[in-house]
Amino acid sequence: MKPRNYKRGYPVAVLVGIEQDHAAFWYIFSQVAKQQQVIPLNSDRKDQKALYGFHETIVNVLRPILKEGVRSIIVASPPRANYAHDVLSHIKAHHAWLLQGTNKASISLITGSASSPPQVAALTKTVMFKELIQENASDETANLLEILEKRLSKTDNLVLFSLQEAEALILNYQPTGRLQAEYLLLTDHYLLRSHQKYRLNRLLQIAQNKQVKTRVISNESSAGARLTQLGGIVCLAKQL
């Protein structure tokens, strides 16, 4: 049986559709969009306490997603509505950490509804959505490149450069005191041209299940070019 992510592709972004009375969360993969959950706003938007709690819940849903390594977030709301802007304003005021440092998220706003599969399908096909994906990916890969270069400058053997080494670290149990995988980075060309796609996609799926931050990076980006120089795949480890 092939891994589930073989058909859905690799994670690209998180789409949050904000409506008057709820927020819908979607994982955007390279092949499909998968709905994660819907959060209701159990009050009128004029109720500032309820609205604050609603925005806090949105941030709390994003926390584990960001820990998985997906740092591109697109927030959508219908025309003539400020719901997406309200969410971003809340983040800037109360969760500035989301927008700072090497692990910061790239948050973009777009006009459109994203509550149902047909709405999401239509929105993700627009030129604007595709441009935002590219812009966010550029910001994200710049952050990943900074992390990678910092790790490469150290002499602690926390950077692995082959599929075999990554498998040995991720697939096997690591006792306390040993290394643990933190990032699994590879280029889209490496994934596309691999003669061991089943093996590679299995590793990606297991890595995601173990909360390893997995990212497939465009070969055209600066981070992708650096990864290509290193063989196309890199696993960054940390000491347990």
Which pLDDT belongs to residue 61? 94
- Domain-wise residue ranges, the chain: 5-142, 154-239
Give dist(CA 186, CA 55) in Å, integer: 34
Which pLDDT belongs to residue 62? 93
CATH class of the domain comprising 154-239:
alpha beta
Higher model confidence: residue 26 or residue 174? 26
Which pLDDT belongs to residue 2? 44
Q: What b-and-e string marks burial along 34-45, b requiring 16 or more CB atoms within 10 Å of the CB?
A: ebeeebebeeee
Which pLDDT belongs to residue 86? 96
What superfamily does domain 5-142 belong to in CATH? Answer: eRF1 domain 2 (3.30.420.60)
Indicate if the pLDDT at residue 111 is higher than 60: yes
Indicate if the pLDDT at residue 1 is higher than 60: no
The model's pLDDT over 124-167, given as tens digits with 9 standing for 90+, comes to 999 999 899 888 887 877 888 888 888 888 766 688 999 999 99
Indicate if the pLDDT at residue 217 is higher than 50: yes
The model's pLDDT over 67-110, given as tens digits with 9 standing for 90+, comes to 777 888 999 999 999 999 999 999 999 999 988 876 788 899 99
Angle (CA) 120-207-171 rounded to 5° is 155
Indicate if the pLDDT at residue 52 is higher than 50: yes
Give dist(CA 97, CA 9) in Å, integer: 29
Give dist(CA 200, CA 76) in Å, integer: 33
The mean of the pLDDT values for the chain is 87
Q: In which band, very low, low, confident or very high, does the pLDDT at 17 lie, cut at 50, 70 and 90?
A: very high
Closest CA to 208 of 1, 2, 5: 5
Higher model confidence: residue 61 or residue 67? 61
